[in-house]
Structure 1
Amino acid sequence: MHLYFLRLYLLGLALLALSSRPASAQSSALATLRGTITDSLSGQPLPGTGLQLTGPAGTTGTATDALGHFRLGGLAAGTYTLQATGLGYGTRRQTLTLAVGETQTLALALPAVALNLREVTVAQPRDPNQSLAAITRIDQVLRPVNSAQDLLPLVPGLVIAQHAGGGKAEQIFIRGFDVDHGTDFNVSIDGLPVNMVSHAHGQGYADMHFVIPETVDALRVYKGPYTARFGDFATAGSGEFSTKTSLESSLAKVEIGRFDTRRAVALLDLLPAGKHLLSNQTESAYLASEYTFTNAYFDSPQHFRRFNGLGKYTGILSDRTSLMLLGSHFTSRWDASGQVPERAVRDGRISRFGSIDDTEGGSTSRTNATAVLTTALPHDAVLRQQAYFSRYNFNLYSNFTFFLENPDQGDQIRQTDGRNIYGYTGTYERTGQLGRRALRSTFGLGTRIDDVDVALRNSVKRQVTGTIVAGRVFEQNLNAYLDETLTLTEQLTLNAALRADYFVFRYRDAQDTETSGRATKARISPKLNLYYDLTPNTQLFVRSGLGFHSNDARAVVVNRNDSLPALPRAIGYEVGSTFKPLPALVVNAAFWALHLQDELVYVGDGGFTESAGRTRRFGADVALRYQLSRMLFADVDLNYAHGRLVGVPKGENYIPLAPSFTTVGGLTLKQPRGLSASLRYRHLNTRPANEANTVQAQGYFLLDAVASYAVGRFVLGATAENLLNVEWNQAQFDTLSRLPGEPTEGVSELHYTPGTPFFVKGSVSVLF
Structure 2
Amino acid sequence: MAKTVQAFTYRTIVSILPLLLAPLVTADPLSAHRLEQITIKGRQTDLLGLASSASEGVIGNTEIADRPLLRTGEVLEFIPGMVVTQHSGSGKANQYFLRGFNLDHGTDFATYIDGMPMNMRSHGHGQGYTDLSFIIPEVIAQIDYQKGAYHANSGDFSAAGSARFGLQNRTSKEVELTLGQNNYQRLLAKGSSKQGKGNLMLAAELQQYDGPWSDISEDVNKLNLQARYSQALGSGQLALMLMAYDNNWNSADQIPQRAVEQGLINEFGSLDTDLGGDSSRYSVSASWYSDAWQWNVYALKAQMDLWSNFTYFLEDPINGDQFEQVDRRWVYGGELSHHWHHQLGELAVEHVVGLQLRADDIGEVGLYNTKQRARLNTVRNDAVQQGSAALFSQTSLQLNSDWNAHLGLRYDYFNVDVESNLAENSGSASDGIVSIKAGLSYQFLPNWQLYLNAGQGFHSNDARGATATLDPVTLDDIAPVDLLVRSNGAELGLRFFDYSAFNASLALWQLQVDSELLYVGDAGNNEPSRASKRYGIELAAYYWFSNNWSIDTELAITHSRFTEQSPDEGNYIDGALPVVLSMGLIYKADSPWQVSLRLRHFGKRTLDSFNLQRSGASTVVNAGYNYQFQQWQLALELLNMLDSKDSDIDYFYASRLPGEDQAGVEDRHSHPMEPRTVRFKLRYRF
Q: TM-score, normalised by structure 1?
A: 0.81
Aligned equivalents of 2:469, 2:576: Cα separation in 1? 27
1:308 corresponds to 2:243: no
Aligned equivalents of 1:223, 1:269: Cα separation in 2? 33
Question: What displacement does 1:438 show?
Answer: 2.1
Two-structure CA RMSD over aligned residues (Å): 2.1
Name 2:179's counterpart in structure 1: 256
Q: Secondary structure at the match of 1:658?
A: coil
Name 2:135's counterpart in structure 1: 211
Pairing partner for 2:511 from 580, 583, 594: 594
Name 1:21's counterpart in structure 2: none
Pairing partner for 1:148 from 72, 75, 78: 72
Aligned equivalents of 2:619, 2:526: Cα separation in 1? 34
Question: What displacement does 1:608 show?
Answer: 3.3
Aligned equivalents of 2:479, 2:640: Cα separation in 1? 47
Q: Secondary structure at the match of 2:460?
A: coil
Name 2:562's counterpart in structure 1: 645
Name 2:494's counterpart in structure 1: 577
Q: Secondary structure at the match of 2:511?
A: strand
Question: What displacement does 1:672 show?
Answer: 8.2
Deviations 1:462-516 (A, max 9, x none): 001100000101100110101100101111111001000000011000x211110
Name 1:227's counterpart in structure 2: 151
Question: What displacement does 1:398 show?
Answer: 0.3
Contact residue 243 and residue 284 of structure 2 kept, 8 A: yes
CA 1:622–1:384: 2 relative to 1, 3 Å = same
CA 1:583–1:421: 2 relative to 1, 3 Å = same
Q: TM-score, normalised by structure 2?
A: 0.91
1:323 corresponds to 2:238: yes
Question: What displacement does 1:671 show?
Answer: 5.5
Q: Secondary structure at the match of 1:152?
A: helix
Contact residue 58 and residue 144 of structure 2 kept, 8 A: no
Name 1:743's counterpart in structure 2: 661
1:555 corresponds to 2:471: no
CA 1:494–1:699: 2 relative to 1, 3 Å = same
Aligned equivalents of 1:671, 1:34: Cα separation in 2? 43
Contact residue 116 and residue 630 of structure 1 kept, 8 A: no
Pairing partner for 1:484 from 379, 395, 404: 395
Name 2:329's counterpart in structure 1: 419
Q: Secondary structure at the match of 1:291?
A: strand
Aligned equivalents of 1:146, 1:699: Cα separation in 2? 19
Pairing partner for 2:89 from 165, 168, 180: 165
Contact residue 279 and residue 303 of structure 2 kept, 8 A: yes
Question: What displacement does 1:622 show?
Answer: 0.3
In the TM superposition, what are the counterparts of 1:499-538 in structure 2 within 5 Å? 499-509=410-420, 511-538=421-448
Q: Secondary structure at the match of 2:484?
A: coil
Aligned equivalents of 2:617, 2:608: Cα separation in 1? 15
**Letter in structure 1 aligned against 2:550:** F
Q: Secondary structure at the match of 2:662?
A: coil
Name 1:56's counterpart in structure 2: none
Aligned equivalents of 2:676, 2:464: Cα separation in 1? 43
Question: What displacement does 1:339 show?
Answer: 1.4
Name 1:184's counterpart in structure 2: 108
Pairing partner for 1:351 from 263, 266, 277: 266
Name 2:196's counterpart in structure 1: 277
CA 1:559–1:494: 2 relative to 1, 3 Å = farther
CA 1:469–1:589: 2 relative to 1, 3 Å = same
Q: Secondary structure at the match of 1:556?
A: helix
Name 2:17's counterpart in structure 1: none
Aligned equivalents of 1:482, 1:526: Cα separation in 2? 10
1:296 corresponds to 2:206: no
CA 1:671–1:389: 2 relative to 1, 3 Å = farther
Q: Secondary structure at the match of 1:196?
A: coil
Aligned equivalents of 2:395, 2:656: Cα separation in 1? 57
Q: Which runs of 5+ in 2 are unaligned?
A: 1-29, 471-477
Question: What displacement does 1:124 show?
Answer: 4.0
Question: What displacement does 1:290 show?
Answer: 0.2
Aligned equivalents of 1:124, 1:742: Cα separation in 2? 63
1:692 corresponds to 2:646: no
Q: Secondary structure at the match of 2:424?
A: helix
Question: What displacement does 1:724 show?
Answer: 1.0
Question: What displacement does 1:690 show?
Answer: 1.0
Contact residue 592 and residue 619 of structure 1 kept, 8 A: yes
Q: Which runs of 5+ in 1 are unaligned?
A: 1-31, 39-44, 47-85, 89-114, 377-381
Deviations 1:549-574 (A, max 9, x none): 00000001126997632211100001
Name 1:199's counterpart in structure 2: 123
Deviations 1:720-759 (A, max 9, x none): 1111111111122112110001000001111111111011
Deviations 1:384-436 (A, max 9, x none): 11110000000000001100111111010000000000001000111222245
Pairing partner for 2:378 from 467, 471, 480: 467
Q: Secondary structure at the match of 1:149?
A: helix
Question: What displacement does 1:192 show?
Answer: 1.1
Contact residue 534 and residue 540 of structure 1 kept, 8 A: yes
Question: What displacement does 1:583 show?
Answer: 4.5
Aligned equivalents of 1:289, 1:708: Cα separation in 2? 22
Contact residue 146 and residue 162 of structure 2 kept, 8 A: yes
1:705 corresponds to 2:629: no
CA 1:192–1:360: 2 relative to 1, 3 Å = same
Pairing partner for 2:646 from 722, 728, 751: 728
Question: What displacement does 1:194 show?
Answer: 0.6
Structure with greater Cα Rg = 1
What is the percent sequence identity of the aligned residues? 31
Report the number of matched residues.
647
Deviations 1:263-289 (A, max 9, x none): 000002232xxxx413xxxx2211100
Contact residue 295 and residue 304 of structure 1 kept, 8 A: yes
Aligned equivalents of 1:672, 1:418: Cα separation in 2? 52
Contact residue 400 and residue 735 of structure 1 kept, 8 A: no
CA 1:312–1:554: 2 relative to 1, 3 Å = same
Q: Secondary structure at the match of 2:383?
A: strand
Aligned equivalents of 1:518, 1:725: Cα separation in 2? 52
Name 2:672's counterpart in structure 1: 754
CA 1:165–1:515: 2 relative to 1, 3 Å = same
Contact residue 512 and residue 534 of structure 2 kept, 8 A: yes
Contact residue 203 and residue 601 of structure 1 kept, 8 A: no
Aligned equivalents of 1:569, 1:317: Cα separation in 2? 40
Greater relative contact order (CA < 8 Å, ≥ 6 in sequence): 2
CA 1:226–1:184: 2 relative to 1, 3 Å = same
Q: Secondary structure at the match of 2:575?
A: coil
Question: What displacement does 1:670 show?
Answer: 3.2
CA 1:33–1:736: 2 relative to 1, 3 Å = closer
Pairing partner for 1:614 from 518, 521, 531: 531
CA 1:314–1:557: 2 relative to 1, 3 Å = same
Q: Secondary structure at the match of 1:441?
A: strand
Contact residue 499 and residue 526 of structure 1 kept, 8 A: yes
Deviations 1:503-530 (A, max 9, x none): 0011000x21111000100000000111
CA 1:562–1:568: 2 relative to 1, 3 Å = farther
Aligned equivalents of 1:671, 1:645: Cα separation in 2? 50
Q: Secondary structure at the match of 1:270?
A: strand
Name 1:123's counterpart in structure 2: 48
Deviations 1:89-130 (A, max 9, x none): xxxxxxxxxxxxxxxxxxxxxxxxxx794xx423143x5357
Q: Secondary structure at the match of 1:656?
A: coil
CA 1:721–1:288: 2 relative to 1, 3 Å = same
Contact residue 220 and residue 247 of structure 2 kept, 8 A: yes
Identify which range, 556-565 or 435-444, moves more after superposition: 556-565
Deviations 1:634-686 (A, max 9, x none): 00100000010112269811100101001111101236861112101010111
Name 1:636's counterpart in structure 2: 553
